[in-house]
């Protein structure tokens, strides 16, 4: 085995694996907490990317931005542990009501931290990953933009580093938002963007932040799919829950586009996303995607080539509307 691959495997086994095991133990404790909201029998499995990486034997594997991403991922895993440990700081209230000015203050604060968009939803238990749990079923969901110019290099070392920097930054922002909530007498549980306990694109869609694309990612009006998503679960029971489905037109657009399907180097994206009888959507063969992900710095080609990244939501929406109006004439 080449020296670089040996270093990679040693670092993963000695540093990442024990920390990951600790995270899983804390997540298990949360699942065993009698007050937590647990997954259902129809919930999807979480794809355990780090454990999949540990199985890799290939010398030529190019993990996203390795080795520069090692301290960044280490910091994210440490933050995930902290977010779970911080659950003990909650007041233990069963529910809480806030007023409109508090929500305004929260949104303004989130924006100063770098949040791109923010929305609210109840969390259906089917969107909690199988055998995982969250502490509250009211979610504040937010997105953060990824760097457009660096994404253009994908698949590349620089993209791998940028993606992990975004995960890390958004994780720290989520922790600050949880701290803000606690200081104001509310309870909070951070869903870190790197390894959340829920299906984020589905949650983002419910929160009105966009709609899932054929590639499975959330397509947002401001940044297309070029975002990472995080959530803070809270005991606030009167969040201004989204009721609109104004981004649903994306489904029709994707039906005719399929650029992501054609350009995916791993042939991992299904021609049409599969919706099961419980309404859970699967767009990508995770194992096929992971093969390319591990060989090409995290890949991210599907995000790059999507017209919602290249052209932008507004232009596509206007063209779509014009087409529909013309077809009526």
The residues binding ligand SF4 (CB under 6 A) are 213-215, 253-254, 257-260, 264-266, 268-269, 284, 289, 292-293, 299-302, 306-308
Complex with ligand SF4: residue 175 or 254, whichever CB lies closer: 254
The nearest distance, CB 296 to ligand SF4, in angstroms, is 7
> Which pair of structure tokens corresponds to residue 323?
């087409």
Helix (H, G, I), strand (E, B) or coil at 211: strand
Distance from C-alpha of 30 to C-alpha of 290, rounded to nearest angstrom: 28
- Burial group, residue 287, by CB count within 10 angstroms (0-12, 13-18, 19+): exposed
Complex with ligand SF4: residue 165 or 215, whichever CB lies closer: 215
Write the CB contacts of 19 (distance below 8 Å, at least 6 apart in sequence).
74, 77, 78, 81
Complex with ligand SF4: residue 137 or 295, whichever CB lies closer: 295
Write the CB contacts of 203 (distance below 8 Å, at least 6 apart in sequence).
121, 123, 127, 139, 141, 229, 231
The nearest distance, CB 199 to ligand SF4, in angstroms, is 16
Complex with ligand SF4: residue 102 or 270, whichever CB lies closer: 270
The nearest distance, CB 269 to ligand SF4, in angstroms, is 5
**133 DSSP β-pair partners:** 38
Complex with ligand SF4: residue 196 or 216, whichever CB lies closer: 216
Phi-psi region of 69 (alpha: psi -120 to 50; beta: other; left: phi over 0): alpha
Complex with ligand SF4: residue 64 or 116, whichever CB lies closer: 64
Taking Cα atoms as reference points, which of 211, 46, 206, 184 lies closest to residue 105? 184
The nearest distance, CB 135 to ligand SF4, in angstroms, is 31
The nearest distance, CB 124 to ligand SF4, in angstroms, is 23
The nearest distance, CB 30 to ligand SF4, in angstroms, is 29
- Element spanning 156, H or E: none
Complex with ligand SF4: residue 56 or 123, whichever CB lies closer: 56
Distance from C-alpha of 288 to C-alpha of 269, rounded to nearest angstrom: 9
Distance from C-alpha of 75 to C-alpha of 36, rounded to nearest angstrom: 26
The nearest distance, CB 185 to ligand SF4, in angstroms, is 41
- Burial group, residue 265, by CB count within 10 angstroms (0-12, 13-18, 19+): middle
In whole angstroms, how far apart are CA 47 and each of 22, 39, 93, 292? Answer: 17, 15, 33, 15
Q: What's the DSSP call for residue 97?
A: -
Beta carbons of 210 and 247 less than 8 angstroms apart: yes
Complex with ligand SF4: residue 135 or 284, whichever CB lies closer: 284
The nearest distance, CB 230 to ligand SF4, in angstroms, is 20
Which single residue brings its beta carbon nearest to ligand SF4? 213
Complex with ligand SF4: residue 53 or 106, whichever CB lies closer: 53
The nearest distance, CB 64 to ligand SF4, in angstroms, is 10
């Amino acid at each position: 085995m080449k020296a670089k691959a040996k270093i990679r495997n040693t670092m993963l086994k000695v540093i990442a694996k024990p920390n990951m095991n600790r995270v899983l133990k804390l997540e298990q404790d949360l699942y065993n907490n009698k007050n937590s909201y647990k997954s259902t029998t129809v919930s999807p499995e979480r794809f355990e990317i780090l454990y999949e990486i540990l199985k890799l034997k290939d010398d030529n594997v190019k993990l996203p931005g390795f080795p520069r991403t090692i301290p960044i991922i280490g910091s994210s895993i440490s933050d995930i542990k902290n977010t779970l440990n911080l659950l003990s700081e909650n007041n233990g209230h069963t529910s809480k009501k806030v007023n409109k000015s508090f929500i305004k203050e929260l949104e303004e604060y989130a924006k100063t931290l770098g949040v791109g968009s923010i929305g609210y939803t109840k969390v259906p238990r089917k969107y909690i990953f199988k055998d995982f749990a969250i502490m509250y079923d009211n979610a504040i969901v937010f997105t953060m933009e990824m760097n457009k110019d660096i994404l253009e290099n994908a698949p590349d070392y620089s993209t791998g580093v940028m993606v992990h920097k975004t995960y890390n930054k958004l994780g720290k922002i989520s922790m600050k938002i949880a701290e803000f909530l606690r200081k104001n007498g509310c309870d909070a549980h951070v869903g870190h963007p790197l390894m959340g306990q829920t299906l984020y694109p589905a949650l983002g869609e419910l929160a009105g932040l966009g709609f899932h694309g054929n590639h499975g990612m959330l397509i947002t009006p401001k940044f297309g799919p070029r975002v990472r998503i995080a959530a803070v679960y809270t005991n606030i029971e009167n969040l201004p829950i989204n009721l609109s489905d104004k981004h649903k037109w994306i489904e029709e657009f994707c039906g005719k586009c399929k650029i992501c399907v054609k350009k995916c180097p791993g042939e991992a994206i299904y021609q049409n996303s599969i919706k099961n009888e419980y309404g859970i959507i699967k767009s990508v063969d995770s194992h096929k995607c992971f093969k390319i992900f591990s060989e090409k710095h995290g890949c991210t080609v599907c995000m790059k080539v999507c017209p919602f990244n290249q052209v932008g939501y507004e232009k596509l929406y206007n063209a779509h509307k014009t087409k529909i109006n013309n077809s009526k004439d």
